[in-house]
Structure 1
Amino acid sequence: MREKEIFKMNGFLGAGVVLLLGLAAVYLFRQFVLYENPATIIGFVVLALIIVVLLSGFTIIQPNQAKVFTLFGSYLGVIKKEGFWFSVPLSLRKNVSLRVLNFNSDKLKVNDLEGNPIEIAAVVVYKVVDSAKAVFDVEDYRGFVHTQSETGVRHIASQYPYDNFNNDYEISLRQHSDEVGDELTKDLQKRLHVAGVEIIEARIMHLAYSSEIASSMLQRQQAKAVLAARKVIVDGAVLMVKSAIEQLSIEGVVDLDDEKKAQMVNNLMVALVSDKGNQPIVNTGSIY
C-alpha cells in the first residue's frame, strides 16, 4: 500500500455549489406549494438527497495532519495539505498525525556481548512519512513502533559489551553512545519501514549493570582506574630517575658505578612510586 493523493477541491467552492443546489431545492418546494405539481416535489426530493450526500464530502485538514480516505472498503487516497476541502462523499476518513513523536522505552534487562546482565533503555524520536502504510500495513502503528523499538534495543545491546576493559572491542555501550545510537537508528529504520515511519533519532537514555553484578563490576572499574593511575605514576618516575642520573653524570657531582646507580634507582623509584610517605635515610658513612 502506497500513499497517493485523492481528488479534492476547495471547500468554499464546494460550499457555493451546495448553496446553489439548496436555493434550487427551495425554489422547487415553493413551486410545489403554489401549484401542487408532482414533478416539482420529486425534483425537490432528489436535490435534497444530493445535498445531503455532498455535505458528507467536506473535511478540514489541520497542520501536520493527514486523512486517509476509503469508500466501501476501497482505498482512495490521502489529503495532507491543511485547509478546508471537498472530496469524495460518503467516504470514511482516518486521521494520522504527521507531527514528530517520541517515547521512552521501558528499562530492559538484557545480556551484553560478554554475557553480563545489564539494564538499558532508549528514547526514540520518529514521525509518519507514509500515512497509507501506517493505517493499512500495520494494526496500530504506535504500538508497532513501541514493540519493535524494544526489540531493536535488545538486539543492539547484545551486539556490544557494556565496557571495553581489555580493548578487545572497538565499540562499547558505555564509551561509544553516539556510535551505538547511530546503529540503533539504522536498525529501527529497517524494522519500521513497513509502517511508513521515519526514525529521526534513537539514543540510549539509561545504561547500568544489573543489580546482581553491579557491585563486582564497580570494583572492576575501580581496579582498572587504579592500574591506569599507577601506570602514569610509574612512567613519570622512570623519566625523573633517568633525568636525575643523567644530570648528576653531566655535572660531575658524584661518580657512580653500576652498583651504586642500581641502588640509587631503587631508592628513587621506591620514594616516587610509593603511595605512602617515606622516611629518608641519610647515609653518613662508616665510623670505623
Structure 2
Amino acid sequence: MASFGWKRKAGEKVLKSVVQQFEAAAEKPEDGGPRAGDEVDWQHAIKRRRELLLEDCAAKSQRLKDEGAVLAEHGRHWEAIKKLDEAIQLTPDNPLLYEMKSQVLTILQEVFPAVKAAEMAVKFRPLWWEGWQTLGRAQLNLGEVDLAVRSFQVAIHLCPSEGALWQEDLQWAWRLQKQHLASKEKTRQEEAAKEQILNAPELQRDYDFESDEVLAACVAVAERQARYEELKRTAVVMDAEGNVRNVLAGDDGSEEEQFVKARGL
C-alpha cells in the first residue's frame, strides 16, 4: 500500500498522541506490500500483466490449433472446427487459424462459411499466398469461378515459383471459367430460340390456306421448334484437353471416358 501524508486543516486541533499513532501506522508496511519510500511503477506492472495474459492465450491457442489439426487428419472434422473456434476466441487475429478452418469447412461442403473464413485469413495476412490459394479453392467450391481465378492470380503474383498454383489451381479454374461461359452462351441461344417460337413472324400474317405460303410457314415454325428442343437436350462438357463441346443427351457413351469430372477440392 502506497504511503500517504496526513494533512490537517488550518486551525483544527488534533491531539499530539493521535498524530503520532497515525504516523506510526502509516510508516509500517503491510505484508507483501511496498515499504515506505518505495516507488511503484504501476504502468509497468499492468503492461507486464497484460504480456503474461497474452502469452497464456497464445500458448493455449497453439495447443488448440494442434489438436484441431490432429482431429482433422483423423476425419473428425466438426470436432476440429470446435477446437479452431476456441483458438480463434483466444487469438482472433491469427490468419493460420482461419485458413485451416476454411480447409476443414471445404471438406465438409460448408461452402459459404469456408469462403468467409478464407477471407478473414487474407484480411489479416494479405501477402500470404497460401491464404489466397485456400480462398480461391473455397470460391470454386461455391461456384464463384471468376473470383477464384482472381484469387489464384494474386497467389501466383505473390509466389510465382509455386508450380501447383499454375498447373493445378489456375488451369482448372480457367477450364471451369471457359465451360461457364459456354453454358451462358447456350442458355442465351436457348432463350433466343424460344422467343422466335413464341413470336414467330409467320404467325403474325394472314394466309390463303390454298397457297404454298402456309406450308412454308409451317415448315419454318417446325424448324425453330426442333432447334429449341435440340438446345434443351444439349449439355456443355469439357474433354481431357480442356476443349468445350456440346453433347446431345441420349448419345452413346463411346466418348464418355474423354470427359473429366469436377475435381474434389
Tell me which interval the TM-score lies in, with the shorter structure as reference length. 0.3 to 0.5
Decide which structure has greater strand share: 1
Structure number with greater Rg is: 1
TM-score after normalising by structure 2:
0.35
Structure with the bigger RCO (C-alpha within 8 Å, sep 6+) is: 1
Higher helix share: 2
Relative to the length of structure 1, the TM-score reads 0.33
